[in-house]
Structure 1
Amino acid sequence: MILAIALVIVLGTAAGALAFGRRATADMTSWAVGGRRFGTVIFWFMNAGEVYTTFAVLGISGYAWALGAPAYLAFTSVSLSYAIGYWLMPKIWQAGRRHGLITQADFFATWYSSQWLGVVTAVVGIAALVVYVQIQLVSLSLVVRLTLGSTLSPDLAVVIGAVLMLAFVMLAGLRSAAFSAGVKDVLMVVVVAVLAVAAAGAVGAASPLDIFRIAEEQHPGIGKLPGLDPTSPTTSVWLMTSALNVALGNWVFPHLFQVSYSAASATSIRRNAVWQPLYSLAYFFIIMLGFAALIANTQPEDGNLNAALLQFVADEFPAWLVGLVAGTAFLLALAPGSVLLLTSGSLFARNVVRPFRPGLSDRATLRVSRVSMVCFAAVAVWLTIGRQDSLVDILLSAYSAIGMLAPGVFLAFLWRRTSAVAVLLGIVAGFVALLAPFAKDFWADRMPEWEPGLIAMAVNLVVVVAASAASPRRESPVAEEEAVAR
């Protein structure tokens, strides 16, 4: 029954996605940015679909089960992200429409009048996206084992998950992902609401809210930072710096650049930014489910916190509900994961291959994009196999990487003097501060509990500003054109 219900949900959604996007594969604009025609409703689901993934359900509930209060990171980071997005996303949309941009690297190459900077930022963006794909593969492998049986090898489950994701993204590009995101979001709300009510009865609570009282009685301090582990670095400083790092890096991710390009108008973007923070209230119930799993003494295989919610559901609820959760979890990974791979392929084809093959046709570029997605999925599988990192930790690693592009994006709209060379120097300095062998211990001694990605982003910003100020004054012609238009 679990497998049957999950298959009905996934295959039904795939069929609807194919029908919705069947004409969206003819060229790169339709394939990658949905023809730039997404109105308020479709853009809502497309945008929310990239924010509410398996990280939101499995990652945050697992963090609540293992640590407690640090899971509140989800509330703070989403609200901050939309406050920034209200200002930034319409600017990205305007630049994309005026200059016919398709990828994030197109923006860097055009705005800074530097094709080589487009190549560099494309490589950085692809690296961050591949790390982000890990989140979806880890989650897919858990759901595959839930539906097919725990006797299935975890490594084989990861491979099966990657195959499913590739099959899904080959359907019809961004339009199919938008349809899938809509179905997924509706199912997520239904599943979370049903589980919230049912979980109270499963753990002997008088109501869903009573779960928090019982969790505090059984595990004193679970609702306060640093959480269940008093030695954990997840203090209030960690929460603030991590939330700020996520918020500043969120709209800098290449796939969310392309989502911004897909909107039909700036009004659609702003309406979503105003109302979507309310959508983050779903995290309240997701964290509650993590606490319920802890109260029920749920023990996922090998203590894997990412599997805590799925194990709790499998232990406490009937097969039909387990199947509903499994099918929804498949979509939570497949819809965002397909967009991540699609964006990686678009970046590689347009901004890594095409600069060296300027005569490449649009159709050939589309083929290169699709083939490269298979390679990037294989790399993500290789990075995922044999590891059990928390989904939250993987997410923060991805944000640390993409944060190296944030100063170049924000300064493009704030300071017209910012130069391509300065952006490159900032990226290099930021990655040294983040990845150098001495970096981890150096920052831990001097700025304990700070999110390393935010520190590296600050180093990056200082270098970009200093290098731009020290170089001869030369404003980007595109920046001047945008300023005149405004």
Structure 2
Amino acid sequence: MKMAIVLSILLATVLGAVAYGRRTRKSATLAEWAVGGRSLGTLIFWFMNAGEVYTTFAVLGISGYAWALGAPAYLAFCSVSMSYAVGYWLMPKIWKAGRLGKLVTQADFFAARFDAPWLGVITGVIGIASLIVYVQIQLVSLGLIVQLTLDDTISSRAATIVAGLLMIAFVFVAGIRSAAFAAGVKDVLMIVVVVLLSATVASKVGAGSLLDIFGMVEAKHPGIGKFPGLDASSPTTAIWLMTSAINIAFGNWVFPHLFQMSYSARSATSIRRNAIWQPLYSLAYFFIILLGFAALLANTHPPGDNLNAALLQFVSERYPSWVIGLVAGTGFLLALAPGALLLVAAGSIFTRNVVRPFAPRLSEAQSLALSRASLVCFAGVAVYLSLAQKGSLVKILLDAYSAIGMLAPAVFLGFIWRRTSATGVLAGMLAGFITLLAPFSAHYWGTHWPQWEPGLIAMAINAGVTILVSLVTPAPAPAAIGIGLLDSAAPATTSRSGYKLGA
């Protein structure tokens, strides 16, 4: 029964996604494939937006963090709400810039706003690297779900490889419209699963109510509900919570696939409506954390004490096969729907911003074919990284946010300060990456500011250097500035980067 439910969910979703994508497809172009013709309405944009917030990280990563550490899982509450507060201001600006400049990728914005094609190449490579790390999160989780579905009859290595093949197959038939449809199905199923498990979990662990679970887990593990959590020596203090949440909020909409998602909206109104109501979704984390605590009360021990598998192990031990099938089928979609958008973004960036500057004569058909071929390679790299990954999904996510956060100062400054220059952006990124990655920097921050999220420190230094260098270097051409400062009166013209701006 379990396998039948999983296959039914997957087949029905894939067939529906393909039918929806074909019904609304205007033409087989890279722009249509990558940004859906810039015509996604409020409802479908809602599901696609939620699909990028509620992935396998949300369910498996946060429940596993609650199982292993306790209070640090509260990070989910803060980061989601703060991200949408930032998104309410930032996403409409990204949307309008995309309309004005006919932009398809995030790297298009950097090349156009700062009038520097070379900066588009550099930021394109950084964006692809961050997307691969994000795909890794989905693959780690998908591999665990494959193992659960097949009753651990295959190894974790084989399960991860199968997960990679499934994601590649899905993204080839998806495109951004089909991925949005799958995200809608996934969101509905996720709510069903969370409600079903939460409504029955108390009886599974001998509690009288949901609130009793919190009291029982605190009695069994004193201090689990306050920072730093179960591990008294952990740096996951209140300072860690605040700095990590701020880092996520500033970095969230700078991810390349979320830039493209902003381009795809039909209107700025659709974006703002989503930003207002989406934080309500963060309430679901209460129940996800609750399930992690329940797994701890039930003495759940996933293979190798893998915290990412704690919830799956708990469900497989305490629930009937049809519930396991529903959870596994939903888990497949939790990984496949966002994974599709991640790989679509990586493929389109590679073609438009890494290859096309050196091969400008590529046709639309060649560009689309190259994008699809490149995402297979990127998925392969993500599979390779996933096979060697032993850390938590939360740790992988924070690393991804730290990396993409090096583009955040340029994005924010590009929209509010006309003096921001390409040279300043490059200098800021170099300073930020040195702060983040150099061994001597890591040692310094670990010794002197151990509770601070390193990515936020690096982002602050990046912003300071960007401002200082921009003050002493030439500003971009007025037409280029017009794509960021949308109230500028710059005339319609074409900048050196080749984009028609200011119209």
TM-score (norm 1): 0.98
Which range moved further: 305-314 or 438-447? 438-447
**C-alpha distance in 2 between matches for 1:473 and 1:19:** 47
Cα deviation for residue 369 of structure 1 reads: 0.2
Counting only pairs closer than 5 Å after superposition, residues 73-88 of structure 1 correspond to structure 2 as 73-88=75-90
**C-alpha distance in 2 between matches for 1:136 and 1:478:** 37
Cα deviation for residue 32 of structure 1 reads: 0.4
Counting only pairs closer than 5 Å after superposition, residues 266-277 of structure 1 correspond to structure 2 as 266-277=268-279
> Which of 98, 106, 116 matches 1:114?
116
The equivalent residue for 2:487 is 483
Cα deviation for residue 469 of structure 1 reads: 1.0
Q: Is the 8 A contact 1:417 1:476 kept in 2?
A: no
Counting only pairs closer than 5 Å after superposition, residues 447-458 of structure 1 correspond to structure 2 as 447-458=449-460
The equivalent residue for 1:10 is 10
Q: Is the 8 A contact 2:174 2:340 kept in 1?
A: no
**C-alpha distance in 1 between matches for 2:488 and 2:344:** 34
Counting only pairs closer than 5 Å after superposition, residues 107-146 of structure 1 correspond to structure 2 as 107-146=109-148
Cα deviation for residue 473 of structure 1 reads: 5.0
SS at match of 1:152: coil
Q: Is the 8 A contact 1:113 1:476 kept in 2?
A: no
SS at match of 2:14: helix
> Which of 72, 75, 78 matches 2:74?
72
SS at match of 1:159: helix
1:235 aligns with 2:250: no
1:153 aligns with 2:181: no
Letter in 1 for 2:19: A
**C-alpha distance in 1 between matches for 2:188 and 2:428:** 41
Q: Is the 8 A contact 1:62 1:308 kept in 2?
A: yes
Letter in 2 for 1:428: L
**C-alpha distance in 1 between matches for 2:388 and 2:476:** 50
RMSD: 1.1
Letter in 2 for 1:126: I
Cα deviation for residue 308 of structure 1 reads: 0.1
Identity %, equivalent residues:
65
Counting only pairs closer than 5 Å after superposition, residues 6-405 of structure 1 correspond to structure 2 as 6-22=6-22, 24=25, 26-405=28-407
Letter in 1 for 2:488: V
Q: Deviations over 1:380-399 (max 9, x none)?
A: 11111132210000000000
SS at match of 2:439: coil
For structure 1, the 5+ residue unaligned runs are: none
- Pair 173,472 (structure 1): closer, same or farther in 2 beyond 3 Å: closer
Q: Deviations over 1:326-358 (max 9, x none)?
A: 000000000001111110000000000000001
Cα deviation for residue 485 of structure 1 reads: 5.4
SS at match of 1:281: helix
**C-alpha distance in 2 between matches for 1:147 and 1:480:** 52
Cα deviation for residue 480 of structure 1 reads: 3.6
Q: Is the 8 A contact 1:417 1:475 kept in 2?
A: no
For structure 2, the 5+ residue unaligned runs are: 491-503
The equivalent residue for 2:465 is 463
Letter in 2 for 1:111: R
Letter in 2 for 1:302: G
The equivalent residue for 1:420 is 422
Which range moved further: 337-346 or 438-447? 438-447
Letter in 1 for 2:456: L
Letter in 2 for 1:460: N
Letter in 1 for 2:339: G
**C-alpha distance in 1 between matches for 2:148 and 2:40:** 35
**C-alpha distance in 2 between matches for 1:468 and 1:60:** 40
**C-alpha distance in 2 between matches for 1:70 and 1:55:** 14
Letter in 2 for 1:107: F
Cα deviation for residue 46 of structure 1 reads: 0.6
**C-alpha distance in 2 between matches for 1:248 and 1:474:** 24
**C-alpha distance in 1 between matches for 2:475 and 2:113:** 16
- Pair 258,473 (structure 1): closer, same or farther in 2 beyond 3 Å: closer
**C-alpha distance in 2 between matches for 1:268 and 1:169:** 25
**C-alpha distance in 2 between matches for 1:468 and 1:439:** 24
Cα deviation for residue 28 of structure 1 reads: 1.2
Cα deviation for residue 3 of structure 1 reads: 1.2
Q: Is the 8 A contact 2:115 2:476 kept in 1?
A: no
Cα deviation for residue 477 of structure 1 reads: 2.2
Which range moved further: 208-217 or 362-371? 208-217
**C-alpha distance in 2 between matches for 1:377 and 1:387:** 15
Q: Is the 8 A contact 1:112 1:476 kept in 2?
A: no
User: Size of the alignment, in residue pairs?
Assistant: 486
**C-alpha distance in 2 between matches for 1:95 and 1:201:** 52
Letter in 1 for 2:13: T
Q: Deviations over 1:361-416 (max 9, x none)?
A: 11111110000000001111111113221000000000011000001100011101
**C-alpha distance in 2 between matches for 1:260 and 1:472:** 30
**C-alpha distance in 2 between matches for 1:421 and 1:94:** 25
**C-alpha distance in 2 between matches for 1:134 and 1:97:** 31
Q: Is the 8 A contact 1:44 1:272 kept in 2?
A: yes
**C-alpha distance in 2 between matches for 1:104 and 1:456:** 21
**C-alpha distance in 2 between matches for 1:475 and 1:359:** 26
Q: Is the 8 A contact 1:419 1:475 kept in 2?
A: no
Q: Is the 8 A contact 2:119 2:422 kept in 1?
A: yes
Cα deviation for residue 483 of structure 1 reads: 2.7
SS at match of 1:449: coil
Cα deviation for residue 149 of structure 1 reads: 2.1
**C-alpha distance in 2 between matches for 1:462 and 1:104:** 22
Letter in 1 for 2:194: V
SS at match of 2:107: helix
Letter in 2 for 1:247: A
**C-alpha distance in 1 between matches for 2:336 and 2:453:** 29
**C-alpha distance in 2 between matches for 1:293 and 1:438:** 40
SS at match of 1:298: coil
